Structure 1
Amino acid sequence: MTAAARRVLCLSGSLRRISSNTAALVAAQRLAPSTLELVVYDGLGALPLFNPDDDNDPLAPPVLALRDAVGRADALLIACPEYAHGVPGAFKNLLDWLVGSLEFPGKPILLLNTAARGSYHAQEALAEILATMSAQLLTSQPLPVGLPGAGCTAEQVLASSERCAELRAALACLTTELA
């Protein structure tokens, strides 16, 4: 990482141990140019269920850690699966914890769509949620990274020249937008 590197927090919407979405983010981390520092967030499963009554001081430590990570990031890179045509509940819970935060509004965000068969319902819902939360979406559509579905590893992603090219395109978009 160079002194001028921009910090990108990578958020996977999946809780799976072996997740294509997480694999894409880890692969992007490994492919990132020295101008970007990609940090993969791993606290999704530790977040308490959102309750507006609990969105005040003192916040739960996992919520504080999430908000701190978002606050230190120059941008977010999100890869989120689609469950029953929607955003997975755990990831929506993460977003709910950011609604009342000062760190999130205006944050540049790039969405990846890792569904090989082009699922779009969750992507559209996610874009709507993020826009409502005052995010700055860097592209009008999620960038595709055509992975085979559940159970893909970062090594499998990196073994494909096509997937690497797709991830490098996403990284180039982040580099350009954060310059």
Structure 2
Amino acid sequence: MNNIRILAVSGSLREKSYNTALINAVAKLAPNDIEVLVFDDMNSIPLFNPDRENENISAVTNLKKALKKSNGLLISSPEYAHGISGVLKNALDWLVSGDEFPYIPVALANTSPRASHAQTALREVISTMSGVIIENASITVALLGTELDENGIINNSEISQHIIEKLNIFKTHITNNDSTPMD
């Protein structure tokens, strides 16, 4: 396996979200042998209802297809009331009964030093869904309280090097463990 594809998801709908800025920067900083696809339609995913799982809901279908075509998943989530964002939990709920998520390598991105409760909750959800968290590929960048946007992240050599290093670690794990996309 030479090239890999990583699906990146932000758990924030906020226009100036640090989480979204981070995953957009990750996509632009990715080395040539790593494609990072940003899923940017979280706001179109309806509230999860098991009665609707067999419906063709465009945003849900697109999320499932993108995940199925990926070797790994990068999730960046804010912390709301000591938990993960509702929009992220909702998207994950839509993936629970499918075959796209189990055993997918997952890297977590954290943009706040105060997001420990959300990270713990997210780890629990991912483990329950049989995702495989790759701790040493997870990205921690303290952006809270800074004015850094996507371009600021890209232009900060320390942060951009950290991101590239973590992407390469993720690629090595994926390559060594044959995380071939299902589709």
Do Structure 1 and Structure 2 share a fold, with TM-score over 0.5? yes
1:6 maps to 4
Q: For 1:143-162, list aligned pairs within 5 A.
A: 143-149=139-145, 152-162=148-158
Aligned to 2:81: 84
1:112 is aligned to 109
Q: How does 1:30-41 map to 2 (within 5 A)?
A: 30-41=28-39
In structure 2, relative to structure 1, the CA distance for the partners of 1:80 and 1:124 (3 Å cut) is same
How many angstroms does 1:162 deviate by? Answer: 2.0
1:1-179 aligned at under 5 Å gives the runs: 4-56=2-54, 58-115=55-112, 117-139=113-135, 142-149=138-145, 152-179=148-175
> How many positions carry a matched residue from both structures?
175
3-state SS of 2:6 partner: strand
Secondary structure, in 3 states, of the residue corresponding to 1:76?
A: strand
Q: Residue 165 of structure 1: CA displacement?
A: 2.3
1:96-140 CA-to-partner distances (Å, cap 9, x unmatched) read: 00001111111111001111x342000000000000000011117
Q: Which amino acid aligns with 2:18?
A: S
- SS of match in other structure, 1:146: coil
State the identity %.
Answer: 39
SS at match of 1:147: coil
Structure 1 segments, 4+ long, off by >2 Å, are: 140-143, 148-152
Q: Unaligned regions of 5+ residues in structure 2, if any?
A: 176-183
For residue 173 of structure 1, give the secondary structure of its aligned residue in structure 2. Answer: helix
RMSD of aligned residue pairs (Cα, Å) = 1.8
Q: Which residue of 1 aligns with 2:181?
A: none
Change beyond 3 A, Cα 1:150–1:134: farther
Where structure 1 has 5 or more consecutive residues not aligned to the other structure, the ranges are none
Given that 1:20 and 1:151 are in contact with CA atoms closer than 8 Å, whether structure 2 keeps it comes out as: no
How far 1:152 sits from its partner (Å)?
Answer: 4.1
